[in-house]
Copies of this chain bind each other. A is one copy, B any other.
Amino acid sequence: MTTPEMQRSMANAIRFLSADAVEAAGSGHPGLPMGAADIATVLFTRFLTFDPKQPAWPDRDRFVLSAGHGSMLLYSALYLLGYDDIDLEEIRRFRQLGARTAGHPEYGHAAGIETTTGPLGQGLANAVGMALAERAMNARFGDDIVDHTTYALVGDGCLMEGISQEALSLAGHLKLNKLIVLWDDNGITIDGKVSLSDSTDQAARFAASGWNTLACDGHDQEAIAASIETARASDRPTLIACRTTIGYGAPGKAGTSRVHGSPLGTEELAAARKALGWEYGPFEVPAAILDKWRLVGLRSSARRKEWEKRFATVDGEIRGEFLRRVRGDLPSGVGQAIHRWKRQLNAERPRIATRKASELALEIINAIVPETLGGSADLTGSNNTRTSQMEAIAPGDYAGRFIHYGIREHAMAAVMNGIALHGGFIPYSGTFLVFSDYCRAAMRLSALMGQRVIYVMTHDSIGLGEDGPTHQPVEHLAALRAIPQMQVFRPADAVEAVECWELALQSRHAPSVLALSRQDLPTLRLDQHDENYSARGAYEISPASGEAEVTIFATGSEVEIAFAAQAELESEGVLTRVVSVPCFELFEAQSPEYRHVILGDGTTLSIAIEAGIRQGWDRLIGRDGIFVGMSGFGASGPAPALYEHFGITAAAVVEAVKARRGA
């Protein structure tokens, strides 16, 4: 075979492995792998730096298949390149329960899958996060240790999603020139032609946000290579519009939406084999072609070995610090500093908002933990996420530790996913809790991927006051607690705030939300203990004066109300304890015995106070428990007037308890 013939055959190997796997599964998406096979072949064989045998090598290039439905493209490439996790058996088991080759690429299923994709647009924003993390790590550790490129393959769907605009405008602003986005420009979506629903000039849109833009024939491997070469030399991020035919090679269906998301069918698949001159059986890749792919894998690993050599010459302390950060271990000293801070809080008993308490905790943490990378979606002064150590990252200058994400909540969350996936940083950033709705699709992926991403969500109730119901979260605590593997913290005071921060930092394989008050709150945790009580999820913060008849459960700003109600009830002879519940998820994970101690045996009256909806609380207080909180949207007015108006007061609690006991 001539070189061009071999290159075409290498691409055809992707095409037919993909189409065969979809055919065997009886479902899946052959259109993208067949259409983008040439792009992937050029990228993987000529540009991408990686090592199939050391896939976690930190200075590898990153490849994000943002159009995740084309998962077989990635699986085929990983198999062809010789990644151990994806063998031919895995390709055959595509979309079967327990296979590494899930319907969409799932982070953690196999090495080489850099992020979970499928929900459109997310991968593009993840890639922005990875490219940003790369530059930020480079600014700290230098070219010898960190110098790689992030590539993303996106489809029309990724580009139609709003998150694409947020992500690309941030990348353009920050001049992330080591980000190269390859657009599988096939003009087809599920419903038919893109022109059914969109007429955007995508290149012009990217250019409007400072991108370098190129276009090429996505089936001309030399043209693709030339474009990537040009992109690599750019001082700006680059979009390469690769004009492709979806389902390239399938004579009856190529170029139509019929090839997007269904198997080709026996006949069409046979016709495609004939059309492309692929004379091999299902899942068969001739040795000559497979060898050529495997050689790429071997060759690519040479770069890794050079890096190892360079790395070995680096100062030991720097080397150690780099590896610690890549591993995700916290530096020593965090625990002690937090203990000291808790003791100081116990002595000083400040009355401050928990968003302020979070800032004070961060002042201590950020001084010891250099890998935190803070930010805010244009609410820096309100979220209190920027501490004295933090200079802002700016276009071309990545030494800072704070990101002005702009009014881009969704991309902020997805970019943080990319930063966490890249490694070397613990990203955290803020917005108002109510705007978690904008972030939600990306937050779900933080949880699904088990990434240590920390969401600082301030103004966590009607306590934000006058901005009114559009800005007052009501259902958001419940809605976030609903996400599996997401830890939702709502600290009651400055002591719990720092404890929750400690837990969020220690949580290496789960994201966290910190829901924080706008309004000032007293220090309520007065007993001096090094133990992190918040780790229990719920604990008795204020015991009854004897055998409790009433248990009041509360979180965050409502624990203060619980204390006031307790005082009133105790003064009237009703023995009452208060349980603070900073984290439902951690409480759910406690032993049955501990849970029983906290929840009681059913003879005490249970009452919960939270300035949100009841949903989820029945699990703690039972169907017959009393709930004092919200049953609908909030209103605009001063916070104290709102608490009064919605009946979230100590008096209301006392009254409800008395009414029930009288009944």
Contacts and interface: CB of A to CB of B under 8 A. Distances in A.
A590 to B, nearest CB: 15
Contact of A190 (B165, B205, B209, B381): B381
A199 to B, nearest CB: 5
Contact of A471 (B118, B395, B474): B118
A567 interface: no
A68 to B, nearest CB: 7
A482 B471 contact: no
A407 B156 CA distance: 9
Interface stretch (A98-106, A237-245, A311-319): A98-106
B99 A636 contact: yes
A162 B642 CA distance: 32
A638 interface: yes
A471 to B, nearest CB: 6
B95 A633 contact: no
A502 to B, nearest CB: 25
Interface string A474-518: 110011011111000000000000000000000000000000000
Interface string A88-112: 0000000111110011101000000
A165 B471 CA distance: 23
A568 interface: no
A361 to B, nearest CB: 22
Contacts of A481: 615
A326 interface: no
A117 B616 CA distance: 29
A622 B104 CA distance: 37
Contacts of A6: none
Interface string A117-152: 111100000000000000000000000000000000
Nearest to A470: B118
A375 to B, nearest CB: 10
Contact of A410 (B162, B189, B380): B162
A441 B437 contact: yes
A542 B294 CA distance: 61
Nearest to A193: B404
A553 to B, nearest CB: 13
A484 B613 contact: yes
Given A191-B378, A408-B162, A441-B437, A475 B470 contact: no
Contacts of A437: 119, 440-441, 444
Nearest to A405: B197
A484 B475 contact: yes
Nearest to A117: B470
Nearest to A158: B407
A198 interface: yes
A506 B471 CA distance: 29
Contacts of A633: 447-448, 484-485
Q: Which 8 A-B pairs have the closest CB atoms?
A: A162-B162, A97-B637, A197-B406, A118-B470, A102-B636, A165-B165, A618-B618, A204-B208
Interface of A: 25, 27-28, 68-69, 95-99, 102-104, 106, 116-120, 156-157, 160-166, 169-170, 172-173, 189-191, 196-202, 204-205, 207-210, 376, 378-382, 392, 395, 404-411, 434-435, 437-438, 440-441, 444-445, 447-448, 465-471, 474-475, 478-479, 481-485, 613-616, 618-620, 622-623, 630-633, 635-638, 641-642, 645
19 contacts: A28-B466, A95-B468, A96-B637, A97-B636, A106-B468, A106-B469, A106-B636, A156-B407, A189-B407, A190-B382, A199-B395, A437-B441, A445-B470, A448-B469, A448-B470, A448-B633, A478-B615, A479-B479, A615-B619
Given A118-B468, A160-B169, 4 more contacts: A95-B466, A191-B404, A197-B378, A440-B440
